[in-house]
Amino acid sequence: DSDFKKDEQRDLVFIMVDVDFFKRVNDDYGHAAGDELLRKIAQRLSTVMRKSDLLVRWGGEEFLIMSRAADRSGTPVFCSRILDVMASAPFDLLGGVKVRKTCSIGWSPYPWCESAYEAICAEEVIELADTALYLAKSLGRNQSVGFLPSDDAIRSPERISIETLREQRSNLIRVIRTAGTITTTHTVNVPKGNASDFPEEFLVRGKIKTED
């Protein structure tokens, strides 16, 4: 929106949440158990959300959280809360079945780059969040990945479009990765290459063992 101004409102962050190995629940216990698990996951996710946040089922085992009037710099901490609450206790399902579940998260803010508000529309930011989710899953699940503009993108906002981001993610996208309980923050420089080799800022966290 051309009327969007930085001082009028904060970020709208799109957060995609995918239940890890959800198909196993359907296969082992039936679709009724899977449906109940999704309902209980939605309830558990709501315990870490603000009243202004919106949670919707995005299809299959995915949820979309729209975090309104948010600060993108605080999103990794919010994602860590989601990861922790998901793995904090078993889910009680039909027939006394108990299952532990983790999730994978991909997120990205709108407007994506403050120096180029109109370069990426909201639908394209959701695409970025979905791509970040795929990266989180490919890196081992039970973690979150966020896509933010890199220093190159901020310096050259005229280069930003969904097409260039698809083609040049390693140059224009800064990847934020979180997994487990936050213990320290440090920057890691890695070679440029495929999607798993993006420059990454890691929030190093502990791991919670699951049954998967």
Is 123 among the residues known to form the active site? no
CA distance 127 to 121: 10
Torsion of CA 77, 79, 81, 84, to 10 degrees: -130
Residue 62: which residues within 8 A CB-CB, separation 6 or more? 16, 17, 18, 19, 133
Task: Out of 8, 36, 61, 167, pick the active-site residue.
Answer: 61
CA distance 78 to 84: 10
Cβ pair 26, 34 in contact under 8 A: yes
Tokens 């989710």 -> residue = 133
Cβ pair 187, 163 in contact under 8 A: no
Supply φ then ψ for residue 185, to 5 degrees: -125, 130
Residue 33, classed as helix, strand or coil, is helix
Catalytic residues: 61
